[in-house]
Structure 1
Amino acid sequence: MAGELLLEVHAVGHVYADGSHGLADCSLAIRRGSRNALLGANGSGKTTLLLHLNGLLQPSTGCIRIDGRALDYSRGGLAALRRRVGLVFQNPDRQLFSANVFEDVSFGPLNLGLDEADVRERVAQALAAVGMGGQAERPVHHLSFGQKKRVCIAGVLAMQPDLLLLDEPMAGLDPGMQADLLRVLDDLSARGISIVLATHDVDFAYRWADDIHLLAAGRCTASFAAAELPQQAAALHAAGQPLPAVVALHRLLVARGVLPAGPVPCGMPQLLALLAAPPAGEEGMEDTPRVRQWSAA
């Protein structure tokens, strides 16, 4: 059921072989069906946390639970986990290794022991979901960077996961490719797939996520609903993050009497709509809903 906890991280610490700390007493929870942004500066622990959620790294201390049960790090337990939790790396070339798109996306389902018809059906569905339905026979090395990212997502979707993890998915994409990828994520979320992505872009996290988790020095310093972000200036500052530009601009306009105090928009399109709206009192400006926009603000 949407809203129930899917995954819980309890006081997880991780010490790398060189003695450096990737995570330190990190705790957070992911709700089933939610969009989550791990927000923090480079080196804050975002990637390390994602690797733990997929079982590629094991905690030095603490534990991680899925559906209330601690992760099983046996070979069979990890195989079962990765059917449910898929990870897309920041650099798609770390994840693509087959000659063509079909071979790459079919790798996971084939390892599940599915017959050829089931594999082909899963691959077709996964490629259609990311807008690559007619590209199954294309050589991987002929794909653009954005297409490679979508093929990586398709490879994960072919495993039919409950939770999709993405490390800096917008990195290296131009605005058009970012918009394409956001449409893919929107469609996946509408299908009930939980999504966790790592980013250092506070403006994107604010307008996209349901829940935001701030990371600093390997620790989750705060978790809150994205709609509450304008009230989290102190927590953002402590994590080395600014307020989103649209929030700062809205506050300036409020201070100058151009706009009333509420509501706070989550993107530039909403702010422009508020500026174009009739004065408060004529149309009930305070009742304007916080509408999400999936295009870049």
Structure 2
Amino acid sequence: MKPTVLNTPNSNLLELEHVSFSYPDGGIGLDDCTLIIRHGSRNALIGANGSGKTTLFQHCNGLLQPQSGLVRYDGEAIDYGRKGLRQLRSKVGMVFQNPDRQLFSASVQEDVSFGPFNLGLAESAVRQRVAAALLAVGMEAFANKAVHNLSYGEKKRVCIAGVLAMEPELLVLDEPMAGLDQRMQEELLIVLDELHERGITLLLATHDIDFAYRWADRLHLISAGRCTATLEAADLADCGDALSAVGLPLPKVVELHNRLMAKGALSNERTPRTPRTHGELLALL
């Protein structure tokens, strides 16, 4: 099944074109995978565990190189030389699922400073970037705290701050909600929404169709290492076949809305579009 690609001229920030990658043990990471991420969009890459989400993300900033196919950033093929990768990683920031894989300095400030110092910036510029990044994620009061004394959710915020200090154009987050309780998830979503308002393009991985539906502009479905479809979130109610093809159900709020419509509790006149949250559905009722 070929991917459904949503595209408009001059709008693409990141493109994977027929990318394939296999691991040394023979495991397939990506299989003829095509994906387009537009400037300024909020994107959810959704698929089951082992579907290829992490492998795809590692191609976004050059941690892995395609064995076939092509990755483009802002219209240009990625240069995998040292200079090219350094430039790419200053624009594409990645936050891993486990924050302990990303944090290695003694204090919060030292950790967030690492990337900007590697760019060769002056100390005064680094300090400004670090302060702004910590402020953006609500961790400015933790600058001198020891990393090992932070909670899991606080560590995730510091990881995001470390990436933000590089002033990226695209922020890639691998399962950012994993391991967070409901309050921490809500706090992280506020941070992500604020970053999006600042113009940062967002791409995150999830296996939660309900969360993806209410948060993202576009959902990219991945199965067995291949992106099978790219769907506008606003049109998801009409995409049940594409979802079921990769083993995903319709979002619960869509199912409930459809049943209420079938029972006559709601009419097409009152619901010109399918609600994306339970709050929107309750307001209609």
SS in 1 for 2:190: helix
Distance between the aligned counterparts of 2:160 and 2:267, measured in 1?
A: 42
Match of 1:14 among 10, 16, 21: 21
Distance between the aligned counterparts of 2:248 and 2:53, measured in 1?
A: 14
Whichever residue aligns with residue 70 of structure 2, its letter is C
Distance between the aligned counterparts of 2:109 and 2:223, measured in 1?
A: 39
Q: Which residue of 1 aligns with 2:165?
A: 158
Distance between the aligned counterparts of 2:206 and 2:84, measured in 1?
A: 29
Distance between the aligned counterparts of 1:239 and 1:52, measured in 2?
A: 22
The reply to whether residue 144 of structure 1 matches residue 151 of structure 2 is: yes
Q: Which residue of 2 aligns with 1:242?
A: 249
Match of 2:267 among 260, 264, 269: 260
Distance between the aligned counterparts of 2:267 and 2:16, measured in 1?
A: 40
Q: Which residue of 2 aligns with 1:173?
A: 180
The reply to whether residue 33 of structure 1 matches residue 40 of structure 2 is: yes
Shift in alpha-carbon separation, 1:69–1:231, aligned structure 2, 3 A: same
Q: Which residue of 2 aligns with 1:269?
A: 279
Q: Which residue of 2 aligns with 1:75?
A: 82
SS in 2 for 1:47: helix
Q: Which residue of 1 aligns with 2:103?
A: 96
The reply to whether residue 197 of structure 1 matches residue 204 of structure 2 is: yes
Q: Which residue of 2 aligns with 1:231?
A: 238
- Using the TM superposition, give the Cα deviation of residue 216 of structure 1 relative to its aligned residue in structure 2, in angstroms: 0.5
Residue by residue, what CA displacement relative to the aligned partner does 1:136-186 show, whole Å, maximum 9, x if unpaired? 000001111000000000000000000000000000000100000000000
- Using the TM superposition, give the Cα deviation of residue 224 of structure 1 relative to its aligned residue in structure 2, in angstroms: 1.7
Distance between the aligned counterparts of 2:138 and 2:61, measured in 1?
A: 25
Percent of residue pairs identical: 63
Whichever residue aligns with residue 184 of structure 1, its letter is V
Distance between the aligned counterparts of 2:175 and 2:74, measured in 1?
A: 26
Q: Which residue of 2 aligns with 1:292?
A: none
**Regions of 4+ moved over 4 Å:** none
- Using the TM superposition, give the Cα deviation of residue 28 of structure 1 relative to its aligned residue in structure 2, in angstroms: 1.2
- Using the TM superposition, give the Cα deviation of residue 187 of structure 1 relative to its aligned residue in structure 2, in angstroms: 0.4
Match of 1:215 among 217, 222, 230: 222
TM-score normalized with structure 2 length: 0.95
The reply to whether residue 120 of structure 1 matches residue 123 of structure 2 is: no
Whichever residue aligns with residue 92 of structure 2, its letter is V
Whichever residue aligns with residue 265 of structure 1, its letter is P
Distance between the aligned counterparts of 1:54 and 1:70, measured in 2?
A: 12
SS in 2 for 1:105: helix
Distance between the aligned counterparts of 1:28 and 1:118, measured in 2?
A: 35
Question: Which runs of 5 or more residues in structure 1 are unaligned?
Answer: 276-297
SS in 2 for 1:134: helix
Whichever residue aligns with residue 268 of structure 1, its letter is H
SS in 1 for 2:142: coil
Query: How many residues were matched structurally?
Result: 275
Distance between the aligned counterparts of 2:24 and 2:229, measured in 1?
A: 28
**What is the root-mean-square deviation of aligned Cα atoms in Å?**
1.3
Question: Which runs of 5 or more residues in structure 2 are unaligned?
Answer: 1-8
Distance between the aligned counterparts of 2:68 and 2:238, measured in 1?
A: 32
Whichever residue aligns with residue 18 of structure 2, its letter is A
TM-score normalized with structure 1 length: 0.91
Distance between the aligned counterparts of 1:260 and 1:238, measured in 2?
A: 29
